[in-house]
Amino acid sequence: MHTQHFFFDKIRSIVLVVLLTNALTHTRTNAQTAPNDYDTDLLPKEFHKGRRDSLRKLMPDSSVAVIFANPVRNRANDVDYQYSQDPNFYYLTGLVEPHSMLILFKEKQVLGKDTTTEIIFVQDRDLRREAWNGKRLGIEGVKTKLGIKTVFLNTEFADYNKIDFSKFRKVYTLKFYDDVRDDKEDRGDLYSLIRHFRIKTDSKRKNLDDYQLGQYLSQLREVKTTEELILMRKAINMSCEAHQELMRSLQPGMKEYQAQAIVEYVFKKNGSEYPGYPSIVGGGENSCILHYNTNRKKLSGKNVLVCDAGAEYHGYTADVTRTLPVDGKFSEQEKIIYNIVLEAQLAGIKACKPGADFRAPHKAAVAVIQKRLLELKIIKKPDDYLTYFFHGTSHYLGLDVHDAGLFGRLSAGNIITVEPGVYIPAGSDCDPKWWDIGIRIEDDILIRDEGNEVMSSCVPKTVEEIEALMAKDGIFKKNK
């Protein structure tokens, strides 16, 4: 036993030396390698610079904005969740590393030897840690890959005294996270950056504002640029293919998690880094739970299955929902409720036009659902619809599945969802023949100068189209 431990310790030591040697050699030959050198369609540094310039134009004179990276979040013990950057920080920098902060000035500042409108503090290269967790950009990588010229190590911020925050009329920040862990051995970690920023600004100062920066960023992020639309289309097309494959492969006896696995397999096969959110795959009674994601039930041929799942690609996420009959054929009751939701969704999509109020699609969908549920005597008065349709119809979509936006008038470049639903759990105050039927249909809608485009239209959604596709062979099912 002791000899075995010694052997494995020796192996680990040799591997570490090899990794460090390779890392050091790589550093000497290509010190500016980005963490991701494998994708050729990442947002270019010019995009992020343009977003910083656009934010600066919105800021008033004598103001400064300070944005922090996301915390590293712990899963359990010494295992962290895979790191996901703060969308606003990524939008402005392109940096996907933690323990960083961006300072953006309205006007040029003379800071010692530097004359600049922006500073970023980042973590240092560390060959030992990079051997375990992957390469970092470091100062030179940030300058070259991200195009930000004034770069310091995060460990330098505590003693960096060239910025007098009291001289600015406004110091803009976002709300601080309350789940930031303190690594007491790291003077440049996110906890330290936030702590020393608070010391340098003093939270009692009247020039601090943690609201308006979010409004500025929402104003920018709700209108997608050409570069963003390219990535959004890729994420949505991956999602469409995944939903189509589920339609071909779904069959009674599957577990909900197996249906989820089919969808997420197609995401990953096509290059998606993650699902954009925990996939909702609920059959039978679980089709009536809005954000259900336990996904453990065995599916019966008598169930409908709500699949709400979208791929994320280079930070941008799709959000598509279809409801399927597990045995390939909708029952008469399922078909009636399905067609009500489809009618409501089509009415909501029709209301998606520039200049319309953000809630116009919701109002259009509600009108249909109220009318049809009254006709079926599922509800007794119009406001009772809230028992069976209790969420909004639309949200913005982009770097977040529930993306930033101002929720005012729709304008060209907005991408929103239209996703009405009807959910009738067992025990509802209506005829039991409707019980355990949950239907949701969701598409991703691009607002254009005239009208809109249904970006996820490649996924079938009429009863006839769905049943026809479900009759075909899938990767995981063969006709008998």
Confirm if 165 and 171 have CB atoms less than 8 A apart. Answer: yes
The backbone torsions φ and ψ at residue 105, rounded to the nearest 5 degrees and listed phi first, read -100, 145
Structure tokens at 130: 């990079």
Distance separating alpha carbons of residues 108 and 116, to the nearest angstrom: 5
Q: How many CA atoms lie within 13 A of 65 on its CB side?
A: 26
The residues, any chain, with a CB within 8 Å of residue 386's CB and separated by 6 or more, are none
Distance separating alpha carbons of residues 328 and 347, to the nearest angstrom: 26
Q: In DSSP terms, which residues pair with 74 in a beta bridge?
A: 80
Other C-beta atoms within 10 Å of 368: how many? 20
Question: How far does Cα 99 stand from its chain's mean position?
Answer: 20
Closest among 53, 45, 69 to 144, alpha carbons compared? 45
3-state DSSP of 190-201: HHHHHHHHHHHH
Structure tokens at 245: 């494959």
CA distances from 437 to 169, 389, 420 (A): 56, 12, 14
The torsion angle over the Cα atoms of residues 446, 317, 228 and 53, rounded to 10 degrees, is 110
Q: Is the dihedral of CA 78, 84, 86, 91 positive or negative?
A: positive
Burial class of 207 by CB neighbour count within 10 A (0 to 12, 13 to 18, 19+): middle
Distance separating alpha carbons of residues 105 and 62, to the nearest angstrom: 8
Confirm if 291 and 309 have CB atoms less than 8 A apart. Answer: no
Other C-beta atoms within 10 Å of 244: how many? 18
End-to-end CA distance of the chain: 54
Structure tokens at 69: 């990276």
In 351-407, alpha helices (H): 360-375
Q: How many CA atoms lie within 13 A of 158 on its CB side?
A: 9
- Enzyme catalytic residues: 78, 291, 308, 319, 391, 395, 402, 419, 423, 440, 442
